[in-house]
A = this chain, B = another copy of it.
Amino acid sequence: MDGKLFDARFGEYTAAVEAYLSGLFEEKAAERLPWGRLYESMSYSVMSGGKRIRPMLTLECARLGGIRDWRTALPFACALELVHTYSLIHDDLPCMDDDELRRGKPTNHVVFGETMATLAGDALQAEAYRLIARASELTDAAKVDAVLALSRASGADGMVAGQVLDLTGYGHDRETLTTLCDKKTGFMLKAAAELGCAAAGAPEELRGALAEYASRLGLAFQIRDDLLDVTGDEKTFGKPIGSDREEGKITFVDVLGVDGCAREVSRLTEEAVAALDGVEGGDFLIHLAHRLSERDR
């Protein structure tokens, strides 16, 4: 797969996700509900220019899993993006990381207030499961698989546990930071792959390979993030440089150094690619892993 073909598919996935998500909110805005401000708050964060890596992973895994039309997996892909978005809104709250900037824009609670931001996150989580349950062209078995994968990845032993570990200063060496990042980032990327496989009813072996790919990708992604927090350009990165340090957080840069982080991102990216050995048509995901390892936002 050459870069042009990759870009074309990348663009197709992104456009489909954007259209699906904005469709959800346009419908609601038209209803002029007395609680319309809640939808404005939800929409503000969901439509704020995320990279859509997670839903893209779901769609590509559904395609690799043999789904007839990857578009039928959009409800699963976007459900995961809603859960991801809720976690960002809550992570930014004053009682959490107290961040005022996200993707170059004021965070949700800065615009809508703490109350509405908390409620928007709560509602996004519920709406994610509603999207899965309502997916009209997928089987009940696929939906149950998806609910299980998403709730496990985002719940009390997954993403929320990662946030607890992050806020309580658990990560202080390579091992503890890896546990923390796996939970905070890796689990959700793995779930993205699992949701795609669930939508397609993919065979076990393929599920295993794609989940392994996504886990490695997630860790590489987080280390790249830590690196950008030190070496990045504020305008491109979309949030203040050095904010981790300012918050007193220990990151992979403290433990591995800048060069060590760069090497670790390369190593994990190679492992991610190696997990795709024997996966037919995995070239889009190989490209994606390399692109993400070089990203600057």
User: Which residues does A use to contact B, with CB under 8 Å?
Assistant: 28, 33-35, 37-39, 42, 86-87, 90, 93, 95-96, 113-116, 118-119, 121-130, 132-134, 139-141, 143-144, 147-148, 150-152, 154-158, 160-161, 163-165, 167-168, 170, 179
Query: With A34-B170, A148-B133, A151-B126 in contact, is A90–B118 under 8 Å at CB?
Result: yes
Nearest opposing residue in chain B for A145, CB measure:
B133
The 4 closest A-B pairs by CB, nearest first: A126-B155, A130-B151, A140-B140, A133-B148
A143: which B residues are within 8 A, CB to CB? 140, 143-144, 147
- Whether B119 lies near A121 (C-beta < 8 A) is no
A144: which B residues are within 8 A, CB to CB? 133, 140, 143-144
A160: which B residues are within 8 A, CB to CB? 38, 119, 122-123, 126
A133: which B residues are within 8 A, CB to CB? 144, 147-148, 151
Nearest opposing residue in chain B for A148, CB measure:
B133
